């Protein structure tokens, strides 16, 4: 892994673990195994490096979601595949954690990729739901946009509940609950 890659990956991990304030340039350098000169050779400073890390995290979340949401199956099967995928639930969602970090949210540049990722995810799920409605898989009265927002909110809330309990069970219950609500809108047609 190149020096810039090690710096970005180290920053991503530290942001997820400690938040923006707790992610010092020294901690980044130590985790990446590079000196101060190497860090500042590749990045203007902590804000520049943090932005690269946040963007990378956002890109990876989108890519992972897209594989499952664009996969085979009905709209409900694809959304189920996304919601039920393997996750480190107790660590939380890396993008969701960034959205809870006041320092990230106070910086428009750092906030933008977080906001864009949630907008994209809601839009992508809404598209899958609308497709299912058009195919006759879901009831015609299902509002794709509001339902997609609810799905994302349940997912993020599930992470919070699981972290608060120190147990992944509340996350699984939240996901199972939203999937049951979606299944209630399924029609008899495949």
Residue 108 lies in a domain: yes
Residue 8 lies in a domain: no
What confidence tier does 189 reach under pLDDT thresholds 50, 70, 90?
low
In tens, the pLDDT along 51-75 reads 999 999 999 999 999 999 999 999 9
In tens, the pLDDT along 20-47 reads 999 999 999 999 999 889 899 999 989 9
In the prediction, which pLDDT does 1 show? 83
Cα 26 to chain centroid, rounded: 27
What confidence tier does 188 reach under pLDDT thresholds 50, 70, 90?
confident
CB 132 within 8 A of CB 143: no
Domain that holds residue 161: 54-183
The tally of domains found in the chain comes to: 1
CATH code: domain of residue 79? 1.10.357.10
In the prediction, which pLDDT does 142 show? 96
Outline where 135-168 has alpha helix (H). 144-165
Residue 79 lies in a domain: yes
Residue 90 lies in a domain: yes
In the prediction, which pLDDT does 21 show? 94
Residue 174 lies in a domain: yes
Residue 43 lies in a domain: no
Residue 20 lies in a domain: no
In tens, the pLDDT along 110-156 reads 999 999 999 999 999 999 999 999 999 999 999 999 999 999 999 99
Its pTM stands at 0.92
Token readout for 173 is 């219950």
Please compute the mean of the pLDDT values over residues 63-89 and round it to a whole number: 97
Token readout for 68 is 């499952």
Element (H, E) at 183: helix 169-183
What confidence tier does 190 reach under pLDDT thresholds 50, 70, 90?
low
User: Cα–Cα distance between 32 and 12 in angstroms, integer?
Assistant: 11
């Amino acid at each position: 892994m190149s020096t810039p890659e090690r710096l970005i990956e180290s920053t991503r991990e530290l942001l997820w673990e400690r938040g923006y304030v707790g992610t010092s340039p020294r901690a980044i350098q130590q985790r990446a195994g590079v000196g101060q000169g190497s860090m500042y050779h590749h990045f203007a400073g902590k804000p520049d490096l943090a932005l690269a890390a946040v963007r990378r995290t956002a890109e990876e979340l989108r890519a992972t979601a897209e594989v499952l949401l664009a996969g085979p199956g009905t709209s409900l099967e694809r959304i189920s595949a996304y919601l039920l995928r393997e996750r480190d639930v107790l660590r939380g969602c890396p993008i969701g954690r960034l959205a809870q970090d006041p320092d990230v949210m106070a910086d428009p540049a750092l906030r933008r990729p977080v906001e864009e990722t949630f907008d994209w995810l809601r839009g992508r799920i809404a598209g899958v739901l609308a497709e299912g409605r058009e195919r006759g898989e879901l009831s015609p009265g299902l509002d794709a946009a509001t339902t997609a927002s609810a799905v994302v909110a349940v997912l993020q809330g599930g992470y919070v509940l699981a972290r608060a309990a120190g147990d992944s069970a509340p996350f699984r219950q939240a996901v199972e609950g939203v999937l049951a609500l979606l299944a209630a809108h399924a029609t008899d047609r495949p």
